[in-house]
């Protein structure tokens, strides 16, 4: 298959969307398919095996701290190049400039178009206006925009049931198949067996953490929606009962300064360590410093960092959210807390209770295996193949009724195959 990926978000930007796209490229190419990425200028190719086409773009002024860009909605030159590529399918990954370009290309060359809805944008409207009254109206606009974007797609992919329900019930996406396909991860780099005890000790010492000190770890984008301040509020009480530990925040973002100020106000700045942005190649090593991984965010669509922590054999403590409860089960592979004040007891319990800790590590490792890139690839490859079959069948159909029969049959088959692939143990 020749697969066209259209996205505004791409390397070197760090985000769950970019991680997902990298996984699509990596796995589909490994299976012998051709993958072409269409994105904004200033993007970079992680390796020479990736085929990249860039449209002229400018920095996005909204939430500019994330270094996102927006491109022109059409390029005649790139459109001509796409015609020569003879793509089999268009897969849009964002809803803005490159997403729009992908939809135009789909119509222009009569190609099947599918979309992955990664981000529930109404959770981020505070970057546009801080006024709550305006936020309500803006959220309605966002929902209408989301519904309109996927209207012509053959199907929609979401990373979690939470996102699928949001599209169906809040955005009112009706009569459109929505398939839940969690992003897969190459979990191998995160495994603790990749790092020696000496390497971990050396990294700890470079951060000012003593060899025998426990590490409460947050790793990810340092932004308001991650609710790191909630964890920080629990730290004074934790340090009082468990002084032999540090709170390590790995990552960078717009909330870093306010969190540093919060740590000072709480008089715990000597126990809180901010690394800032670290190279992606070093991220697995930082995970392996953790004795417990914490996250209070309730806006995650999938939460890849939880899977990464599990792969690194770090017990997870998180704030309850419907999508997280799909794969984090308290007492088995992690702990979900209902109240912000419950973080302290959960964290202390993980640090103190060796039997529970081992159970969570074992269960978490099994969960990480279920989210492997191989399983992700199986599902996506099947979905691409079936959607291409559907598109061709619709082209050959002579009546609207015949088209509807093909749609009903193939959509049902995709759903059944996804269930079976989820059950299969690798």
pLDDT in tens, 311-324: 999 999 999 998 89
Among the residue ranges 9-18, 81-90, 325-334, 412-421, the one predicted with the least confidence is: 9-18
**Which pLDDT belongs to residue 256?**
96
Mean pLDDT of all residues in 216-239: 96
**Which pLDDT belongs to residue 130?**
58
Q: Are residues 308 and 404 in the same domain?
A: no
**Which pLDDT belongs to residue 122?**
83
Q: Are residues 171 and 83 in the same domain?
A: yes
What CATH number is associated with residue 243? 3.40.50.2000
Q: Are residues 122 and 206 in the same domain?
A: no
**Which pLDDT belongs to residue 365?**
94
Domain membership of residue 413 as a residue range: 374-426
Q: Are residues 148 and 16 in the same domain?
A: yes
Q: Are residues 266 and 341 in the same domain?
A: yes
Burial, 244: exposed, middle or buried (Cβ in 10 Å; 0-12, 13-18, 19+)?
A: exposed
- Indicate the residue among 168, 185, 202 that finishes a domain: 185
Distance in angstroms (rounded) separating the CA atoms of residues 286 and 192: 11
DSSP state of 298: S
Phi, psi of 24 (to 5 degrees): -60, -50
Per-residue pLDDT band for 50 (boundaries 50, 70, 90) equals: low
Structure tokens at 251: 């990552």
**Which pLDDT belongs to residue 397?**
95
**Which pLDDT belongs to residue 127?**
62
Q: Are residues 359 and 425 in the same domain?
A: no
The model carries a pTM of: 0.76
Among the residue ranges 38-47, 324-333, 334-343, the one predicted with the least confidence is: 38-47
**Which pLDDT belongs to residue 344?**
97
Q: Are residues 60 and 165 in the same domain?
A: yes
Per-residue pLDDT band for 59 (boundaries 50, 70, 90) equals: confident
pLDDT at 133 > cutoff 60? no
Mean pLDDT of all residues in 387-400: 96
Q: Are residues 20 and 125 in the same domain?
A: yes
Buried b / exposed e over 166-194, threshold 16 CB at 10 Å, is bbeebbebeebbbbbbbbbbbbebbbbee
In percent, the amount of the chain with pLDDT more than 90 equals 77
- Indicate the residue among 370, 399, 417 that finishes a domain: 370
Per-residue pLDDT band for 400 (boundaries 50, 70, 90) equals: very high
Query: Of 337, 222, 342, whose CA–CA distance to 272 is shortest?
Result: 222
pLDDT at 426 > cutoff 50? no
Contact 236, 209 (CB under 8 A): no
Per-residue pLDDT band for 424 (boundaries 50, 70, 90) equals: very low
Q: Are residues 113 and 238 in the same domain?
A: no
pLDDT at 48 > cutoff 70? no
Per-residue pLDDT band for 407 (boundaries 50, 70, 90) equals: very high
Q: Are residues 338 and 285 in the same domain?
A: yes
How open is the CA angle 417-423-425, to the nearest 5 degrees? 120
pLDDT at 125 > cutoff 80? no
**Which pLDDT belongs to residue 152?**
92
In percent, the amount of the chain with pLDDT more than 70 equals 94
- Indicate the residue among 350, 370, 390 that finishes a domain: 370
Structure tokens at 383: 């979905």
pLDDT at 283 > cutoff 90? yes
The pLDDT mean for the chain works out to 92
Per-residue pLDDT band for 126 (boundaries 50, 70, 90) equals: low
Q: How many domains does the chain have?
A: 3
């Amino acid at each position: 298959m020749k697969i066209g990926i259209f996205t505004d978000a791409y390397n070197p930007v760090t985000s769950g969307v970019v991680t997902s796209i990298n996984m699509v490229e990596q796995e589909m190419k490994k299976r012998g398919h051709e993958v072409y990425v269409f994105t904004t200028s200033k993007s970079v190719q992680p390796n020479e095996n990736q085929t990249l086409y860039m449209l002229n773009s400018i920095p996005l002024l909204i939430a500019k701290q994330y270094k996102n860009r927006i491109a022109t909605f059409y390029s005649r030159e790139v459109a001509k190049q796409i015609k020569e590529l003879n793509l089999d399918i268009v897969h849009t990954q964002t809803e803005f400039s490159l997403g729009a370009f992908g939809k135009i290309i789909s119509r222009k060359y009569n190609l099947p178009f599918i979309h992955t809805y990664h981000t529930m944008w109404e959770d981020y409207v505070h970057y546009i206006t801080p006024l709550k009254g305006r936020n309500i109206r803006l959220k309605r606009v966002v929902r209408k925009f989301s519904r309109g974007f996927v209207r012509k797609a053959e199907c929609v992919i979401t990373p979690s049931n939470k996102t699928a329900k949001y599209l169906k019930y809040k955005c009112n996406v009706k009569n459109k198949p929505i398939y839940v396909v969690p992003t897969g991860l190459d979990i191998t780099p995160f495994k603790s067996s990749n790092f020696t005890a000496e390497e971990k000790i050396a990294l700890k010492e470079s951060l000012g953490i003593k060899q025998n000190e426990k590490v409460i770890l947050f790793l990810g984008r340092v932004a308001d929606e991650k609710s790191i301040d909630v964890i920080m509020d629990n730290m004074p009480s934790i340090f009082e009962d468990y002084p032999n530990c540090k709170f390590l925040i790995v990552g960078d973002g717009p909330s870093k300064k306010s969190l540093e100020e919060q740590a000072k106000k709480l008089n715990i700045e000597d126990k809180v360590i901010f690394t800032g942005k670290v190279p992606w190649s070093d991220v697995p090593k930082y995970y392996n410093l953790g004795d417990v991984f914490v996250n209070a965010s309730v806006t995650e669509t999938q939460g890849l960092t939880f899977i990464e922590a599990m792969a690194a054999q770090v017990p997870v403590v998180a704030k309850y959210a419907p999508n997280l409860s799909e794969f984090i089960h308290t007492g088995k592979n992690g702990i979900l807390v209902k109240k912000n004040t419950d973080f302290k007891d959960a964290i202390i319990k993980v640090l103190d209770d060796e039997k529970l800790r081992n159970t969570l590590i074992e269960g978490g490792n099994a969960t990480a295996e279920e989210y492997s890139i191989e399983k992700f690839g199986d599902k996506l490859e099947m979905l691409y193949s079936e959607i291409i079959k559907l598109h061709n069948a619709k082209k050959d159909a002579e009546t609207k009724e015949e088209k509807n029969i093909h749609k009903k049959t193939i959509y049902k088959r995709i759903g059944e195959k996804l269930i079976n692939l989820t059950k299969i143990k690798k």
